[in-house]
Amino acid sequence: MAEQGGKTTSSWRSFRWLYMARLAVASIVTVVAVAVIIRAVVVMLRPEKLQLKLAGGHVGVGYIPSLPPPGNLVHLKFILRANNPSGRASVEYANITVRLTEAPSSSSSPAPEARVAEFGLPEDIAVPQQTAHEAIVMVSLEAKEDVPMRYVRALYEVSGVAGVEMELSGLLSTKL
């Protein structure tokens, strides 16, 4: 009987270790699964962000007063620096329209915004996760049709126009 009891006790001990190992593996798998689910929920709930900054720009005017408007061109060149700070795989900004308007003055009565120019960007901006992307934009606009002549003259004669704002609108899409 003693021998039989000894075998039973040792086999019971080995089964207890097996149960403990199974419990440890199951706990680790559960913790990993919960961590993956929490990370996915955090990424899904994070707002879609794309930071755009105007990094630099230049405006050149080919204005000759005696030429009819087709001979006068306004050349815009600027750099848009896009940053994807979110945890999303990529953020793409498509069908982008650039609108240049006069900034509202500081007077108490809000005046309607005067459109300086409006044009579409030729390429979409796609930015991978946690990276920055620079888009160089070069556009030529016709005076009088695309840009009012008072801005063309001011750019040509004074070399600048103060109080102009740039607004970008488009479709923002993300990939997880």
What was the pLDDT predicted at 129? 79
Q: What is the mean pLDDT of residues 139-163?
A: 72
What was the pLDDT predicted at 34? 95
By CB atoms closer than 10 A (0-12, 13-18, 19+), residue 18 is exposed
> If you write DSSP's letter for every residue of the chain in order, what string do you get?
-HHHHHHHHHHHHHHHHHHHHHHHHHHHHHHHHHHHHHHHHHHHHSPP--EEEEEEEEEEEE--TTS-GGG-EEEEEEEEEEE--SSSSEEEEEEEEEEEEEPPPSSSSPPPPPEEEEEE-SS-EEEETT-EEEEEEEEEEEBTTTB-HHHHHHHHHHS--SSEEEEEEEEEEEE-
> What distances in angstroms separate CA 150 from CA 11, 62, 91, 144, 161, one per listed residue?
97, 14, 38, 9, 10
Q: What is the mean pLDDT of residues 69-83?
A: 76
What was the pLDDT predicted at 1? 44
**102 vs 69, higher pLDDT:** 102
Task: Give the integer Cα–Cα distance in Å for 104 and 114.
Answer: 9
Cβ atoms of 99 and 147 within 8 Å: the answer is: no
Highest mean predicted confidence (pLDDT) among 40-44, 109-113, 151-155 = 40-44
Cβ neighbours of residue 59 closer than 8 Å, sequence gap 6 or more = 74, 75, 76, 77, 155
Question: pLDDT tens across 94-145, in order?
Answer: 888 888 887 776 654 555 567 778 888 888 888 887 788 888 888 877 776 7
Could you count the other beta carbons within 10 Å of the beta carbon of residue 43? 14
Structure tokens at 30: 């559960």
Amino acid identity at 31: V
